[in-house]
Amino acid sequence: WQGDHHALICTDGAIREHWGEVLASKGHAAEAWQRYSAWLKTQWRGCEGRVVFRMFHLDLGDEGAGGAPSVRVVRLDNGGEFTSAQFKDFLAREGTVAQYTSPYTPEHNGVAERANRAAFEMCRTAMLQSGADSRWWGVCLLNYCLPTLNMCENQATGSSAYFDRRGVAPSIRDLHPFGCYASIHVPFARRVGGKLAPRSEDGVFLGYARDGDRYLVHVLGTVRAVRTTRDVVFNDTVFPWAGASSSSASSGDAGPPPPAAGG
């Protein structure tokens, strides 16, 4: 997806909130850690908690009222991306102690491993059901799977990470299956053709924007055009990509059939 072939998933050990990034290579793990560390200091200001970062298990310390929490200890495996000089240097400058797990013992970081497995199993299932091709795996993982997992109740807290972070439960009516049909409203400024121009365009639902309460929708008939908008009408029973795949396999016609009303 956009040249990225790896993913790092962070799981808050206190409320089980998931955060992630897709990376071009494992060598970018140190940069991802720096961004996540900065995010933690902002979001956990004046709080204590435990955090798991893919293969990391973190303990956060409170620096006092109004201060940002510091990561005291990070537990990780012996991957080269985690033992690099750049990564160790950043941990040292932050005052973080690195504790490496024993080789071939992923159970020492069970929360992170389970979160990683759940996210990728959801991603695989959503893409197969919708008929999406592999180029969309990154947006499916980050913008659909992780937000959906954050809305699910977990056994550790008895509530969802979404509720624990915001204090309100998510609205079920705002949830839609990955890859379903979406009709996108075209603003007047973008219409070409005057008063007779179409006021909507066909699209495929990709997920939820990470920077606000908006949807990500791929415009059908384009290669990578994605709209970020709230003005969308969904049909949760129609999956254009799945229809195109089945039509192509049976008749050799690459053109997708028109969306049909769900029964």
Residue 20 in domain: no
Contact 177, 130 (CB under 8 A): yes
DSSP state of 54: T
Same-domain pairing of 127 and 41: yes
Same-domain pairing of 183 and 159: no
**Mean per-residue pLDDT for 141-163?**
90
Residue 19 in domain: no
**What pLDDT band is residue 136 in, cutting at 50, 70 and 90?**
very high
Same-domain pairing of 93 and 193: no
Same-domain pairing of 189 and 105: no
Residue 257 in domain: no
Domain count, the chain: 2
Same-domain pairing of 197 and 150: no
Q: Which residue, among 57, 97, 56, 96, has the nearest Cα to 79 in the 3D structure?
A: 56
Residue 246 in domain: no
- The pLDDT of residue 45 is 53
Residue 113 in domain: yes
Per-residue pLDDT reduced to its tens digit, 40-61: 777 665 344 444 444 454 555 5
Share of the chain above pLDDT 70, in %: 80
Same-domain pairing of 152 and 57: yes
What is the rounded CA–CA span in Å between residue 90 and residue 170? 37
**What pLDDT band is residue 247 in, cutting at 50, 70 and 90?**
very low
Same-domain pairing of 88 and 146: yes
**Mean per-residue pLDDT for 159-170?**
86
Residue 222 in domain: yes
Share of the chain above pLDDT 90, in %: 34
Q: Does 66 have pLDDT greater than 50? A: no
What is the rounded CA–CA span in Å between residue 96 and residue 72? 5
Q: Does 255 have pLDDT greater than 50? A: no
Same-domain pairing of 45 and 143: yes
How many of the other CB atoms lie within 10 Å of CB of 47? 12
> What's the pTM value of the predicted model, to 2 decimals?
0.79
- The pLDDT of residue 59 is 54
Range of the domain at 211: 176-235
Same-domain pairing of 139 and 208: no
